[in-house]
Amino acid sequence: MAGLLSSVRKRLSSDALRTGRNGGQTDPVVAELRAALAPDRVRYDGAERTVLSHDASIYAGGVAGPVCFPLTTTEVQAIMVIAERHTRNVVPRGAGTGLAGGAIPLGAPIVVSVTRMNEIEQVDTANRFAWVGPGVVNLDLTRHLTPLGFHFAPDPSSQQVCTIGGNVANNSGGPHCLAYGVTNAHVLAVEVVLPNGDIVMLGGLEDEPAGYDLRGTFVGSEGTLGIATRVAVRLTPNPPAVTTLLLSFETIRDAANTVSDIIAAGMVPAALEVMDQRITVAVENYVHAGYPTDAGAVLLAEVDGLAESIEIDAHHIAALGHKNNALHIRVAADEAERAALWKGRKTAFGAIAQIAPDYYLHDTVVPRGALADVLDKIYEIADRHDLLVMNVFHAGDGNLHPLLVFDAREPGVVDRVHQAGAEIVRASLDAGGVLSGEHGIGVEKQAYMDEFFTAEDLAHQNRLRQAFDPGCRTNPGKVIPSGHSCADIQALRSVPRDVWA
């Protein structure tokens, strides 16, 4: 079944690339979309479709059909009604920063980019919520809220460019989600346009909305259940005081053990981030934040809250660092130094461009007690496949992010990267881990779903999906393996070839 789905994808992608060069003038769907939105917000030119055929992952093979830029819920509804009438597939898209191939359009579907739905509609500080469009950039929301005494807690590394809609789709995390929780904990309600064009409100502003938690079902569904058009987010008060520590160690095992000891001591810091020596050197060369380049690993630990309590916590973290052979412990002296340290962590993935042009970033989660052993296995896997690996990860919750750094122009290297990636996933599962902490399943982890879930689990997931989308036309070919979701194959096959002519 997996081979059949792969061949369908290849045929559709190949056909779409060879055709579709007349601006969609003969495609009735394009004409209807332009009438429903505006001609300049339904694009069918090669450049726009090429850009939106990719995301930030290493996965190729996506081909976009008509690209729509709606401004309102009503326009999204019109797109979905047109798509259903013509049995066309739809892929929602935010900023395209996803790393698991979740936003890649398969089989030339209608691509719905929500980036222009970027209004912060309402901020209610008394009740601590805000209504925002799905195209609002994560960091822009926090910058808007900060002078009011609040922020949006989830802070992915792509915070400067990723959108709230994308955060909702992937249930995104970030360094500070150790204490505050991932996106699901910060979304109160979502207005959604279903695949048939119905507009529904999932969740609500009440403390305990009635009925099933369909809001929680939608968050993390990776665009397979519908398109979010408005999101009510929870506002988190800015902490009264913050202390950031940088601890350096001779080995990454000492850093990992320190993290385990911190949590075992009953502390839940705002963040616990570890970087190995390779990535630390790259980061320091890039941002010059004062990271030690001679240490085997560094631990960035942050505590927030009342000044008296965080002073105690910082002292305990330092003591546990010394217990685990910390070479040096530094406390950020002011906000500027703290911001520089976090700039280094948040730009770590970009920093590796000075080493090689390409990278494959994985995202698995393992028990904290298994961190050191799994990291040893990751280094061994990379060495065996003659690859350079760098480790930077959310150590507090065991969310690993090994970076396989390479040059795709080197013959055979991409195959080795994928082989090593598969072994890393299985090493994490063998240690009692899970497939993803925040990047989602997309196409990247789809093949491993039946190694983690039973056939019955996957059948129930597919039934849930089909309750929202009976035809599996919304972001088809993602998440659920093809052997458990034959409707995806039918959906990919159903797109008529002449729509690309």
d(CA 233, CA 189): 7
Domain contains 283: yes
d(CA 151, CA 146): 6
What residue spans of 203-269 are helical by DSSP H? 214-218, 252-264
In whole angstroms, how far apart are CA 396 and each of 174, 188, 278, 299, 400?
11, 25, 20, 10, 10
Burial class (CB in 10 A: 0-12, 13-18, 19+), 196: middle
Domain contains 83: yes
Looking at the structure, tell me whether residues 91 and 131 fall in a common domain. no
Nearest to 324 by CA among 388, 257, 385: 257
The answer, yes or no, to whether residue 499 has pLDDT greater than 50, is no
Looking at the structure, tell me whether residues 347 and 257 fall in a common domain. yes
Looking at the structure, tell me whether residues 267 and 323 fall in a common domain. yes
User: Please, what sign has the CA dihedral across residues 407, 412, 415, 419?
Assistant: negative
d(CA 272, CA 274): 7
The answer, yes or no, to whether residue 4 has pLDDT greater than 50, is no
Domain contains 366: yes
Position 153: which residue type?
A
Q: What value, to the nearest 5°, has the Cα angle with vertex 116 and ends 115 and 118?
A: 85
pLDDT tens, residue by residue, 118-151? 999 999 999 999 999 999 999 999 999 999 999 9
Position 61: which residue type?
G
Looking at the structure, tell me whether residues 379 and 425 fall in a common domain. yes
Looking at the structure, tell me whether residues 270 and 281 fall in a common domain. yes
Domain contains 305: yes
Domain contains 476: no
What is the band of 208 on the pLDDT scale with cuts at 50, 70, 90?
Answer: confident
CA atoms within 13 A on the CB side of 365: 16
Looking at the structure, tell me whether residues 164 and 69 fall in a common domain. no
Domain boundary among 339, 355, 371: 355
Domain contains 474: no
State if pTM tops 0.75: yes
What's the total number of domains in the chain?
A: 4
Domain contains 396: yes
Q: Which domain holds residue 111?
A: 2-115+453-468+481-500
Average pLDDT, the chain: 91
The answer, yes or no, to whether residue 378 has pLDDT greater than 60, is yes
d(CA 170, CA 191): 16
pLDDT tens, residue by residue, 25-56? 678 999 999 999 999 999 998 889 999 999 99
Domain contains 394: yes
